[in-house]
Amino acid sequence: MSVPARWLVLVCLTAGCAGSRSATTDYVPGLGDDWARRDPAEMGFDPELLAAATAWALEHETSMPKDPGQYLRDRFEGQPHQEIVGPTRERGGPNGILLRDGYIVAEWGDTRRPDMTFSVTKSYLSTVIGVAWDRGLIGHLDDRVGERIRDGGFDSPHNAQITWRHHLQQLSEWQGTLFGKPDQADRRRGVDRELQPPGTFWEYNDVRVNRLALSALRIWGEPLPVVLRREIMDPIAASDTWEWNGYETSWVDVGGERVQSVSGGGHWGGGIVISTRDHARFGLLHLRRGVWGDRRLISEAWIDEALTPSLQPNYGFMWWLNTDREQFPSAPASSYFALGAGSTSTIWVDPDHDIVLVSRWLDGPDVNELIGKILAARTG
């Protein structure tokens, strides 16, 4: 297999220029608790204002039930095909971590507790596919998925038009039933609406995301949690407490072995269960544009593709963008987010200020206010 042209680039990593914080911008934490902290004042924050912001976050817990299964049943009550078929886990309380230049500047609540992360899982799935693209495993992003995936899922004239880009941008309009869930089970813009040509209509749809995850499994030829651990989580020194689950109905044959295809979210259970600290490492990897220390894990070309607006201007490759500051008015337009369950799980990456924030169990409007309080606490 030829080496993709995008890798024929010399990557040069330089130390920062002199200054109060600039020499720290390539710092990444070591294993476990080998993660340096810095005083807020040293990192350009007013300590009292930042402490007030974190205290505020602890006081604004979401109204979501502690039992995610109850949340899912209440949210989709009365709609067909909403049976929970994957594992769920009772959630913890509000917690979060704030990084600047990779250092811990603030931390609150239990950040080591693994919790369900719902659709933040989609950003991890996107990254696993990005690594496959970097390796040349899926060809061009505008190639049709059915050219490589021949399991019957792309045989119809409609589905045969779907490209990898369509799937990653949630523009696929894939039609069918997967693991007992028809695509109508998550047609959020109208169950009975007429399907549009792939690439022309945006809809957040977990059945289609799960179809993409199955295609990624077939491309890699091994379970996606194994790929994620080897290619991303072990290199960034994540803990061993995270897991990525599918459904009791999502076991498939891959190379003669029975393998579980994982889900891209927690709509019917499953998805990634992970700690806030591990989320922060993942966010920092993206803030560093795919480089961890002296090792490149994801190409810059993929990072650029993933953060390019689609037909839905606030959505890239399963990352939420802040185009025109529409999603989160308090955050810069250049920042981006991995979001789950109404933003109760949030990874915020802010390249303008070299910030990563992970917030758990606050509602979306409160996340926006927390961001505003954090940025208002900056002194430099």
Q: Residue 296 pairs with which residues in a beta bridge?
A: 291
So what's the pLDDT on residue 224? Answer: 98
43: in domain: no
Query: For the residues 47-55, what does the mean pLDDT come to?
Result: 98
Strand ranges inside the chain, DSSP E:
95-100, 103-108, 115-116, 177-178, 181-182, 243-254, 257-262, 271-274, 291-292, 295-296, 320-321, 336-340, 345-350, 355-360
Residues 192, 194: Cα–Cα separation, whole Å? 7
17: in domain: no
174: in domain: yes
Confidence of residue 76 (pLDDT cuts 50, 70, 90): confident
Number of domains within the chain: 1
Strand ranges inside 263-379, DSSP E:
271-274, 291-292, 295-296, 320-321, 336-340, 345-350, 355-360
Q: Residue 244 pairs with which residues in a beta bridge?
A: 272
CATH code of the domain in which 229 resides: 3.40.710.10
81: in domain: yes
11-25 tens-digit pLDDT: 333 333 333 444 346
pTM for this predicted structure: 0.93
The two tokens of residue 174 are: 């894939």
The two tokens of residue 245 are: 């689950």
60: in domain: no
Query: For the residues 234-259, what does the mean pLDDT come to?
Result: 98
Tell me if 96 sits within 8 A of 276, measured CB to CB. yes
Residues 88, 67: Cα–Cα separation, whole Å? 8
So what's the pLDDT on residue 25? Answer: 60
318: left (phi over 0), alpha (psi -120 to 50) or beta: left
177: in domain: yes
113: in domain: yes
**Residue-range definition of the domain harbouring residue 189:** 69-380
SS (H, E, C) 208-272: HHHHHHHHHHHHHCCCHHHHHHHHHHCCCCCCCCCEEEEEEEEEEEECCEEEEEECCCCECECEE
So what's the pLDDT on residue 5? Answer: 37
Confidence of residue 75 (pLDDT cuts 50, 70, 90): confident
CA distances from 368 to 91, 118, 188, 233 (A): 21, 19, 24, 28
